[in-house]
Structure 1
Amino acid sequence: MEDCHPSAISDEERAARRAQRAKSRREKLRLRRRRQLLRLFPILIVCLVGVFWSSRSRAEPAREKAGRAVLSTRPLPEAAAPPYSASVSADTIHLDEAFSSEYAVLIDLTNGTILAEKAFDTVISPASMTKILTLLVAAEQVTNLDDTFTLTREITDYCYVNDCSVVGLEIGETVSIRELLYGTILSSGADAALGLAMYVSGSQEAFVEQMNAKLDELGLAETSHFTNCVGLYDKDHFCTVYDMAMILKAAMDNELCREILGARTYETAPTPYHPEGQVLSNWFLRKIEDHIPDDFAVIGAKTGYVAQSGNCAASCGVTASGAEYICVTGNAYSSWRAIYDHVELYKSYCSP
C-alpha cells in the first residue's frame, strides 16, 4: 500500500488563494482597459468635432437651398431618356404560350414602339448574342482593319476547355483584324472574339469592362451585365431580349458593324495554316431568306445557344419602303424554331 501524504494547506486556505488570484486578474484587466480608453480619448474628441462641423456644413447649404426654393417655382427638368429605347403601347401584342420561344420582342424602329412581346423584360442568358456587343465595342476602337493579330495558346486553350464555337484559327496563325470581326459574327468564333479583346484591350477582363461601360452608355446597365466576350453562361452574365434589341440597334447604327452583321459569307485570306483561306457563313441569314416575303429582307443577325438559354436569335429586318424592325427571341427548342419564330413575327406584324 502506498503511503498517504497529507496536504500542506487546508481546503479553506486553497479557496482563499484562488479568490485572491481571481481578484488580482480582474484588477489588472480594469487597469488595462483604463489605459486603452485614455489612449483613445483624444481620437474620440477629434472624431466628434469632425462630425459636428460636417453636419453643420451640410445644414448650411440645405438652408440656403430652402430659401431659394421659396423664390423659385420652376419645375425640375425631366430625366433624359436613354439613347436607345422603345416602349409598349396600347396596341402592343402580348404573345401567349402558342408562340414557341419563351422570350421575344419585336420593335418598330421608326417610332420606337414594341409591336409584340413575350416576357421581354425578363433577364436571360444571352449566349453568343453577346458577340454583337463584342463586335460593337471593338469596331468603335479599331482604326486599322488591315492590322494583324497572332493567335495564342491562351486563346485556343480557353476555347477548348469551354467547348466554344470557333473559326478554327491555329496557334501562331496571323490574321487581319477585319477577319477577326467577321469571324466573331459569321462563325460565332470565340477564338476571333477573344483575339479582338486581346488586340483592343490587352485582356478579356479589360475588354469586358469596356463592354459594361457601353451597356451603361446605352442606358441598359440596370438589367444587363456581361462577364465575358463570347457568351459563356455565368450567373452574372445576363440581359433581357429588350436589352439585346437595343444592343443590336446600336450595332446597326455603326456602318462597319452593319456591314458585318449583314454579310451572308466572307472569304478569308490564305495563311500557312489555311492555304486556301476559309469561307465563313452566317447560317441564320442564309436560311431565313428562303422563308420571308419578297418585299422584306433580313439585313443583320446573330444567333446564340447555351443550355441555360436555349436557342436565341437577334435580327434586323427592313421592308421595301425602308421601315426597319428589330426582333430578338430566346429559348426556342431548336435553331430552326428560332428562325421560324422570327419569320412569324415579321410576317404578322411588320407592314410592307
Structure 2
Amino acid sequence: MLDVASGEWLYAQNADKPMPPASMSKLMTETLVLEDVAAGKLGWDDKVTVSRYAAKVGGASMGLSEGQRVTVETLFRGMAVRSANDATVALAEYAAGDERTFVARMNAKARKIGLSKQSRFANATGLSSADLKAFSAAASEGETVMTAKDVAKLAMYVVQREPDILNFTREGEARGFGTQVALRTTNEMLPGQRFGTVGNDGLKTGYTAAAGYCFAGSFRLDGRRYVTVVMGTATPKARFDQTRTLLELGLAEGRKLA
C-alpha cells in the first residue's frame, strides 16, 4: 500500500517478488494511450479499424468485430472499465503500428519511470503468451511479470500524471458508445458494487490461470490518495477482501472501512 502524495510505503509483504500481473499490466497501456492523447498524437474521436487479432484475441471482451471502426475513446473505455482485451490490442496497434512496437514502448516507459528490472511486459493485455501463439500479429515472447511494488509505482504514476483515467475507472457500467454489449466494470470495490468500499474510484483488476485474481486499487480517503496492490489470490472475492484488510492495516491499526 502506497501513499501517493508522499510516496511512503504504508504496508508491504512479498512486494519485490516478480509475478504474473494479468490485466493489471494494462495500466501501462492506459498510461501510454493517455500520454499520446495529451500530446496530440492520438485523438479521442479518431476511428480505429479493428484487426483480426484484436477481434479474436479472447478473454475479457467488448464484442468487437474484424473491420469494425471504433473511436479511441470507446476503446479506452472498454479497456479501463471492462478490461477488454480486444479494445486493448486495437489501441496498441493503432498507437504504434503493431503490438510488438507498442510493447517496446511499454518496457522503455517502465525503465523511464523507475520500475525495477524485475518487471517486464510481453504484450499489451497481460495475457499469457500461450494464449497468443495462434496470432502471428501478437507480441508473445516470454511472459509479463511485475512486482507488487512496481504495479503500485505504475498506478501512482498514472493517477498523478494522467488523473483523467479516474473519469473512466470510476464508471460502474457504460452503455452505448457504439459497443455491442454493456460495459460492466470488473472492479467490484466501486461504491454500489458487490464489495463497494468508500473512497474507491478504480483502478485495475486482473486474472489469468497463472496470475490468479489480482487487483490494483485507487482510494481517496480523508483527503489523501492511496494505491493498493493484491496479487495471486484464489478467488475474485479474495482479492477484494484482501484489499480491504490491506487498507485497514495501512491506514491505522484496527480501523474499519465502510
Rounded to whole Å, the distance in 1 between the matches of 2:125 and 2:238 is: 23
Q: Hey, what does 2:11 align to over in structure 1?
A: 116
Q: Hey, what does 1:311 align to over in structure 2?
A: 213
Q: Secondary structure at the match of 1:196?
A: helix
1:322 to 223, 232, 236: 223
CA contact (8 A) 1:288 1:343 kept: no
CA contact (8 A) 1:212 1:221 kept: no
Q: Please state how far the C-alpha of 1:297 moved relative to its aligned partner.
A: 0.6
1:152 aligns with 2:51: yes
Unpaired segments ≥5 residues, structure 1: 1-105
Q: Please state how far the C-alpha of 1:288 moved relative to its aligned partner.
A: 6.3
Q: Please tell me the residue identity of whatever aligns with 1:224.
A: S
Q: Please tell me the residue identity of whatever aligns with 1:247.
A: L
Q: Hey, what does 1:77 align to over in structure 2?
A: none
Moved over 6 A (4+): none
Let me know the Cα RMSD of the aligned residues. 2.0
Determine which structure has the larger helix proportion and give its number. 1
Q: Please state how far the C-alpha of 1:195 moved relative to its aligned partner.
A: 0.7
Q: Secondary structure at the match of 2:217?
A: strand
Q: Please tell me the residue identity of whatever aligns with 1:184.
A: M
Q: Hey, what does 1:196 align to over in structure 2?
A: 91
Q: Hey, what does 1:25 align to over in structure 2?
A: none
Q: When the two structures are superposed, what TM-score results if normalisation uses the length of structure 1?
A: 0.63
Q: Hey, what does 2:233 align to over in structure 1?
A: 332
Q: Secondary structure at the match of 1:110?
A: coil
Q: Please tell me the residue identity of whatever aligns with 2:234.
A: Y
CA contact (8 A) 1:251 1:258 kept: no
1:260 aligns with 2:168: yes
Rounded to whole Å, the distance in 1 between the matches of 2:196 and 2:87 is: 31
Q: Please state how far the C-alpha of 1:266 moved relative to its aligned partner.
A: 2.1
2:150 to 243, 264, 289: 243
Rounded to whole Å, the distance in 2 between the matches of 1:152 and 1:291 is: 36
Q: Hey, what does 2:59 align to over in structure 1?
A: 164
Q: Please state how far the C-alpha of 1:125 moved relative to its aligned partner.
A: 0.6
Rounded to whole Å, the distance in 2 between the matches of 1:292 and 1:137 is: 29
2:82 to 187, 201, 213: 187
Distance 1:292 1:113, change over 3 A: farther
CA contact (8 A) 1:292 1:347 kept: no
Rounded to whole Å, the distance in 1 between the matches of 2:91 and 2:76 is: 7
Q: Could you say which structure has the greater relative contact order, defined with CA pairs below 8 angstroms and 6 or more residues apart?
A: 2
Rounded to whole Å, the distance in 2 between the matches of 1:292 and 1:270 is: 28
Q: Which structure: larger Rg?
A: 1
Aligned length: 235
Using the TM superposition, name which of 334-343 and 281-290 deviates more: 281-290
CA contact (8 A) 1:301 1:315 kept: yes
Task: Provide, for residues 199-255 of structure 1, a one-character-per-residue CA deviation record: whole Å limited to 9, x for no partner.
Answer: 111100011111111101111141211010000125442110110011111111203
Q: Hey, what does 1:27 align to over in structure 2?
A: none
Task: Provide, for residues 92-127 of structure 1, a one-character-per-residue CA deviation record: whole Å limited to 9, x for no partner.
Answer: xxxxxxxxxxxxxx1122322211121000000111
> Percent identity among equivalent residues?
26
Rounded to whole Å, the distance in 1 between the matches of 2:151 and 2:216 is: 7
Rounded to whole Å, the distance in 1 between the matches of 2:227 and 2:93 is: 30
Q: When the two structures are superposed, what TM-score results if normalisation uses the length of structure 2?
A: 0.84
Unpaired segments ≥5 residues, structure 2: 130-141
